[in-house]
Structure 1
Amino acid sequence: MKSIFALSVVGYTISVSAAPAHHGFHLPANAQILLDESMKWMDTFYDSSESYLYDLSATAALRHETRSSVWYALGLLARHENDDVQQAESIIGNVIGAQFKIPSEQWYGDYQKYPEEPYVGSPVYEPDIYNSWDPNWRGFIGTTLIIAIEEYEHLLSESTRELVLESLYNATKGDEYRVGGVDDDNLYPAYSNPSIMRAFMSGWTGRRLNEANMTVSGEKYAQDIIDLFDRNNTLSEFNSGTYTGVSLYGLTLWCKYLPQDSVMAQHGPEMVKHTWEAVSQLWNPSLKNMAGPWDRAYGYDMNRYLSLMALWFWVLVGKDNSSLISQPQVMSHSADYAYAPCFAVLAAFHRTLVPDEIVNGLTKFSGEHTFTASTYYPPIDNSPRNITTWVSEELTIGAESFDENGLGGPSQSQESFNPAVVQWWTGSEVSFISLYPTEEALQVGVSANKLELEYPSGNSSSIFTLIVGTFKQNRTIADWSGLVGLDVGVSTNANESYVLSFGGANGGTSETIRDFEVWNFTYAMPQGFQGVPKMTLDVRLC
């Protein structure tokens, strides 16, 4: 029999029917290992006296961190040992207690980044979107709370359930404040990972609280996302080792927790399937990397930074077949390892959405092939971006043509946007060449062993900046001949001479990028140049 309880939300009362609980104690073997190992690591960061995790970066002078604490709380509910449930409820209560609850503030319904911070918007702590507050955390935390309700409601006290539903109402209403291009916000339907979470939260919370307008809002927003996806069966935020993982997480929520009268439940399974079809073509099991180009990357080699796609690979084909090392917590960007409980809990259902032939193909290289796709991210893209990737067993080349109204791809980040990428096996490690974006438009050609680059709007001030990996076998290089395992031929109408610099952790004439030490080859155009700047790389394993 369903229980009825009253929920107080910003000054009025809603009657809520409790949905049947999903029991999630029995996880598939790979998911159980992921849960166990990630929780064992997070246990060492847990401060039971404050009911928060310490900041996982270990560079925060014992400050705590909110988002990872909520992921850990879900893991505690999934593990369900000793006082795990009690600790989970304490964490949830603390996080929701500090949620921003003033409707007139732009950050209404969002969550603190850490409990020690001053109040956002106070005279000494001005609001700075994505810094002092992060609007995407409504989605990251809110969706985790929904999983907790869906899977483990039977473990939670009535007061915690009421608190969670009140929090979800506030977070969902706050997310409605977000309009791309207004108040420095960048949430458009094309911003795939948070937009998918936003649509889900609105659809789920509206149904649970009998808020028809909220439900309709979620459905309409989801339809905008679906329309963009259906253009070429691709996410607008395309091929990110981290954010494709979040988008698949959000789409799984669409499929698992919404009824069939939702456009999200209707379209979610095909969107998961098509996304995995693209991933399977770009994933190289021999290099344990997704070939480029990458819309948003936190590194150049998935064997060295922790990507969320690696967590999906782990639950589908095992840790050894993912890009993770034995101790993922020492990899760059390792704080995302705290997301693992969400992936573990969803793993069994997510597996039902991925065709067997795709899963079976993730562990063994399928043969040389070329992948093509197109995607579109309005309003940043002036026209669709067209992707071509050539994949061989030990060498991949991928690039995308684009015309955009700013630098740095869809996310407007030069560091994370990698529009043209070469990766290869040196004999002992993966290395890379990546075009650092310095133009708003690029035309590319990709074929076996060849990458062609053109700047259609370029001029005499244009530069080609190629970021190149370091090498264990050759610590110091002076020119292209110093690369290990790859012969590179460069033909260009830029000056043949180039500036070579090193970006090192402890010095050099340039800087590290996303924690990676890099060599930087920069070519400038001749003085007074007229025409289209061009460069071709001919690359062969040696």
Structure 2
Amino acid sequence: MTKWSTIASSLSPDKMFLMKQAMEQLDTRYDEQESMVWGEEGQHDTRESAHYALGLLLRGSLEDVQMASGIIDRVLEMQLTQQGEIYEGTFRASPEQQAPPSGYTAWGTFSPGYGYAQQDALTEVYRRFAQYAQLEEQTQYKEQFGRAADEVFPRVWESFDPNWREFIACTFAVILENFEDRLSIKQVARMDKAMQRAVSTSLERYVSQSIPTNTNIELMHLFIAHYYGHRYEQIDWIQHAERGAMALLDDYRELHSFAEFNSSTYYGVDLTVLGMWRVYGRSVSFRNIGLQLEHGLWEDIAAFYSPAMENICGPFARSYENEITSHSSIGVLLYLALGESKRHLTSINCETSHDLLIALFGVDVPEAALQQLREQQGERFAVRQFKELCERDLPGHNRHVCTATAWLSPQLMIGGLTGSHNTNGQMHHATAHWLDEQGRRYSMRMVRREVGQSWNTHLRGMTFNVETEVSRLDITAHLEAAVPIELVFELEGAALHEIQITADRWQLPGLTVQVDAQAPQPQVIQQGGRAEIVYAVEHRDRIWNQMHFRLYFL
């Protein structure tokens, strides 16, 4: 029987379950030769390796500690240290990732939004090149152009991920807080040097807004500025964190919402980091602000949560999946909040390594929110406004007030978003979730994409307004872009092979949708447990730059 460290063994059984489950999964993916964990993409994963090092220290045997030390050294090797570059202080996502180019840009010369503007500009350069060269296909040399650009310009998300500074710095904070005495003095000194670089460059990014920070990254940034500011007696970091925390709370209070709204993907990160604020905050004010934000976020979740469907209703701002058990830690957090009856929500997904952090901090849920999470409330509306963050737009002009409206019943919940100007494909403006007669779960979301490409991209020229009524969504889509576009209603569930789709009626498992549409004839694409109802902007001899749908859920 494995003997865990004193810290781990003092935790409650539900938290120990999460730790053991995460470690069992990570153990199978550990590469002893590389001292790193294999990731989902066939490459080693720096962030998950840092989490695994924490888990090994929590397990605590001499062999585990030695392995953890080797992994920490390997993660430290992943830090990018080229002084003055936009990516200085962050970490390579994996050792297989090529280091970004250097020598073409320098800190202090970037305008706000530079990191995104550069990428968009290069994409536009290629589009115009293809047009002027009269290439038969716009994508003919796109890959080669991208490779050439990445050898000269450090493009955010393409050649580096700026957010790995914050993710690794948070995990190292937890390691140093709990296990500094189990690491060598030399290794701790290396970690401190790396963290000084990471936090100082995170601060430069935050102040310059060269790459604007979404909510989850802002929470991590403020935490590491606060935590390491106290560790290294950096008064300016501490003051910055206190001011930033108060400003974030004021911004949250205005509409009772974060910019990353109703996102199971990022709410899971938010609550994990707010647990760090609550447990490791060095000042009463910082801890109290964190607790207020944590409580408020649980209230936001409860407002859009259906106990019958065990899921959050849309619409979603910056989210990957429709289910809280996919690409999300929300199921894990609900398990800690609601008890053993929700253990089935803790299924393994790409966020499971975060469970090692979540188990240390637990949850703090207000009693009123707990009641909402436990008890189905019948038919109801949920309405929230939030100020989105448009990453690609100029800071100071990139916050727009959006309205999210959901209608929830025990068997069906639908949601719509109005007012967004965001170019991000992770904005899901129209959603539906329902149960069939056997209690099986299904979901639908509206996405847009370049023809044949992923929806998870930034595209300009499109706006969506979705009004929510009882059992009805009214959708207006304006679809103008520099590339061919299609609007897609993406379905997910168990028996989608049974669907029957016509222009005015969608016969789905457990649900009929009557469709009143001003749109082209749809095409249906089925792929295993998913199906797509596709409306092409360029259809036959007509360009549908505007489409309208009135969906009646029967």
Instruction: Provide TM-score, normalisation by structure 1.
Output: 0.80
Q: Does 1:374 align with 2:385?
A: yes
Note the C-alpha offset of 1:384: 0.4
**Among 180, 183, 186, the residue aligned to 1:159:** 186
Q: Tell me which amino acid in the other structure corresponds to 1:149.
A: L
Once residues 387 and 52 of structure 2 are traced to their aligned partners in structure 1, the CA distance between those partners, rounded to angstroms, is 35
Q: Does 1:536 align with 2:536?
A: no
Aligned match of 2:437? 427
Q: Does 1:137 align with 2:164?
A: yes
Aligned residues of 2:48 and 2:353 also touching (Cα < 8 A): yes
Note the C-alpha offset of 1:136: 0.6
Aligned residues of 2:507 and 2:513 also touching (Cα < 8 A): no
Aligned match of 1:8? none
Once residues 344 and 7 of structure 2 are traced to their aligned partners in structure 1, the CA distance between those partners, rounded to angstroms, is 30
Once residues 85 and 253 of structure 1 are traced to their aligned partners in structure 2, the CA distance between those partners, rounded to angstroms, is 23
Q: Does 1:147 align with 2:170?
A: no
Once residues 337 and 185 of structure 2 are traced to their aligned partners in structure 1, the CA distance between those partners, rounded to angstroms, is 35
Once residues 542 and 207 of structure 2 are traced to their aligned partners in structure 1, the CA distance between those partners, rounded to angstroms, is 40
Aligned match of 1:10? none
Aligned residues of 2:306 and 2:410 also touching (Cα < 8 A): yes
Q: Does 1:482 align with 2:507?
A: yes
**Among 22, 27, 46, the residue aligned to 1:43:** 27
Once residues 97 and 485 of structure 2 are traced to their aligned partners in structure 1, the CA distance between those partners, rounded to angstroms, is 43
**Among 467, 485, 491, the residue aligned to 1:445:** 467
Aligned residues of 1:368 and 1:392 also touching (Cα < 8 A): yes
- Aligned pair in 2 of structure 1 residues 372, 478: CA closer, same or farther (>3 Å)? closer
Mind listing any 5+ residue stretches in structure 1 that lack a counterpart?
A: 1-21, 506-515
Q: Does 1:89 align with 2:74?
A: no
Q: Tell me which amino acid in the other structure corresponds to 2:188.
A: R
User: Can you list the C-alpha shifts for 1:357-409, whole angstroms capped at 9, x where unaligned?
Assistant: 433543442333221111102455563011111111110011111141x43xx
Note the C-alpha offset of 1:227: 2.7
Aligned residues of 2:100 and 2:159 also touching (Cα < 8 A): yes
Aligned match of 2:212? 186
Q: Does 1:386 align with 2:411?
A: no
Q: Does 1:293 align with 2:309?
A: no
SS in 1 for 2:431: strand
Aligned residues of 2:496 and 2:531 also touching (Cα < 8 A): no
SS in 1 for 2:345: coil
Q: Does 1:310 align with 2:331?
A: yes
Aligned residues of 1:34 and 1:314 also touching (Cα < 8 A): no
Once residues 372 and 530 of structure 1 are traced to their aligned partners in structure 2, the CA distance between those partners, rounded to angstroms, is 31
Once residues 268 and 182 of structure 1 are traced to their aligned partners in structure 2, the CA distance between those partners, rounded to angstroms, is 23
- Aligned pair in 2 of structure 1 residues 491, 322: CA closer, same or farther (>3 Å)? farther
Once residues 360 and 134 of structure 1 are traced to their aligned partners in structure 2, the CA distance between those partners, rounded to angstroms, is 39
- Aligned pair in 2 of structure 1 residues 337, 457: CA closer, same or farther (>3 Å)? closer
Note the C-alpha offset of 1:491: 2.2
Once residues 141 and 531 of structure 1 are traced to their aligned partners in structure 2, the CA distance between those partners, rounded to angstroms, is 44
- Aligned pair in 2 of structure 1 residues 462, 345: CA closer, same or farther (>3 Å)? closer
Aligned match of 2:10? 26
Once residues 396 and 323 of structure 1 are traced to their aligned partners in structure 2, the CA distance between those partners, rounded to angstroms, is 21
User: Can you list the C-alpha shifts for 1:54-74, whole angstroms capped at 9, x where unaligned?
Assistant: 22x1x52xx422110001111
Aligned residues of 1:450 and 1:539 also touching (Cα < 8 A): yes
Once residues 131 and 258 of structure 1 are traced to their aligned partners in structure 2, the CA distance between those partners, rounded to angstroms, is 34
Q: Tell me which amino acid in the other structure corresponds to 1:175.
A: S
User: Can you list the C-alpha shifts for 1:125-179, whole angstroms capped at 9, x where unaligned?
Assistant: 5533223321111111110111112233343333333232222111101212325
Aligned match of 1:253? 276
- Aligned pair in 2 of structure 1 residues 400, 86: CA closer, same or farther (>3 Å)? same
Aligned match of 2:532? 519
Q: Tell me which amino acid in the other structure corresponds to 2:463.
A: A
SS in 2 for 1:242: helix
Aligned residues of 2:230 and 2:282 also touching (Cα < 8 A): no
SS in 2 for 1:176: helix
- Aligned pair in 2 of structure 1 residues 434, 473: CA closer, same or farther (>3 Å)? closer
Once residues 180 and 435 of structure 1 are traced to their aligned partners in structure 2, the CA distance between those partners, rounded to angstroms, is 35
Note the C-alpha offset of 1:323: 6.2
User: Can you list the C-alpha shifts for 1:409-459, whole angstroms capped at 9, x where unaligned?
Assistant: xxx2x2x22111111012342222222258643333223212122358999
- Aligned pair in 2 of structure 1 residues 286, 172: CA closer, same or farther (>3 Å)? same
- Aligned pair in 2 of structure 1 residues 160, 465: CA closer, same or farther (>3 Å)? same
SS in 2 for 1:441: strand
Once residues 36 and 485 of structure 2 are traced to their aligned partners in structure 1, the CA distance between those partners, rounded to angstroms, is 49
Instruction: Provide TM-score, normalisation by structure 2.
Output: 0.78
SS in 1 for 2:179: helix
**Among 225, 233, 243, the residue aligned to 1:220:** 243
Query: Which has the larger helix fraction?
Result: 2
Aligned pairs for 1:61-140 within 5 A: 63-121=43-101, 127-140=154-167
CA root-mean-square deviation: 3.2
Note the C-alpha offset of 1:193: 0.3
Identity %: 22
Q: Does 1:468 align with 2:488?
A: no
Aligned residues of 1:371 and 1:388 also touching (Cα < 8 A): yes
Aligned residues of 2:491 and 2:531 also touching (Cα < 8 A): yes
- Aligned pair in 2 of structure 1 residues 382, 225: CA closer, same or farther (>3 Å)? closer
- Aligned pair in 2 of structure 1 residues 158, 444: CA closer, same or farther (>3 Å)? same
Note the C-alpha offset of 1:483: 0.9
Aligned residues of 1:301 and 1:431 also touching (Cα < 8 A): no
- Aligned pair in 2 of structure 1 residues 388, 340: CA closer, same or farther (>3 Å)? same
Q: Tell me which amino acid in the other structure corresponds to 1:377.
A: E
Aligned match of 1:233? 256
- Aligned pair in 2 of structure 1 residues 311, 180: CA closer, same or farther (>3 Å)? farther
Note the C-alpha offset of 1:485: 0.8
Once residues 417 and 216 of structure 2 are traced to their aligned partners in structure 1, the CA distance between those partners, rounded to angstroms, is 20
